[in-house]
Structure 1
């Protein structure tokens, strides 16, 4: 079931008190093998990495983490980011919430001057491809 109106849902930075909801939201994807399991305490410590999509009633229906890796000029590597733990509740998939999260994550990456952004995915990656990502070999 899709949201009643796109403006009724908000994308915001996660807070440490969202950790239990982040773990619960991720659990079905962990069970399917799409995400790796993280303890609730890791969601507490990693909360600043996360963006969430929140329903009008306060329920979290999606999340994505953005891990920032500093530049290493000596190795010729610019600052880069990795999107991780990207998921949208099953009953909300196909409603555009994933695209909203991804656009917010892209804006956050730009605001942090990241030159490169990676997304590790177990799926086909269609959402990422539609937003300008390109496949790369894991060792690149």
Structure 2
């Protein structure tokens, strides 16, 4: 009878040419430019089709491209975006507010931390603009927003024109964070 003895496991660092998993390419965060409007619309389209984002005409992306912070891949494609608009009217309590909208991360980059990077950068931008509160609406769980200090609020606390623009059929939750 022959008894086989297990050999010690080989560690990757013991092999002459270790195989290492490829890391996801690092996206650069930057303000969007008007010429990014077609890419913003294209990035958003799958989320519109799924119902996660409301449909916006291309002209909205063209007119408000500078509201967006984008994550640009090394090849120049957009991996994610998040828009921040300073709201012209104060909230019901007189605070200067902003609204985060059109938050999306490309399917292949979800779960990579890119959404958290975009949100953290948007919060920093809101603070640098001396905003008191940021509002957003989500049809999803809102887990990332909640993790970053947002809390559910009544739409009545948000800027009136923005709150009125929400489609009640979508069942979006309004979240806010004091900066």
| TM-score between the two structures when normalised by the length of structure 1 | 0.90
Which structure shows the bigger proportion of residues in helix conformation? 1
Report the equivalent of 2:163: none
The structural deviation recorded for 1:133 is 0.6
Matched, 1:102 2:122: no
- Number of residue pairs matched by the alignment: 136
Residue in structure 2 matching 1:4, options 9, 16, 24: 24
Question: 4+ runs of 1 displaced by more than 3 Å?
Answer: 70-73
Report the equivalent of 1:123: 140
Report the equivalent of 1:53: 71
- The structure with more radius of gyration: 2
Higher RCO (C-alpha under 8 Å, 6+ residues apart): 1
Change in Cα spacing, 1:86 to 1:36, as seen in structure 2 (3 Å) is same
Matched, 1:65 2:83: yes
Unaligned runs of 5+ in 1: none
The structural deviation recorded for 1:3 is 5.3
Unaligned runs of 5+ in 2: 1-21, 158-179
Work out the CA distance in 2 between the residues paired with 1:23 and 1:4: 23
The structural deviation recorded for 1:138 is 2.1
| TM-score between the two structures when normalised by the length of structure 2 | 0.71
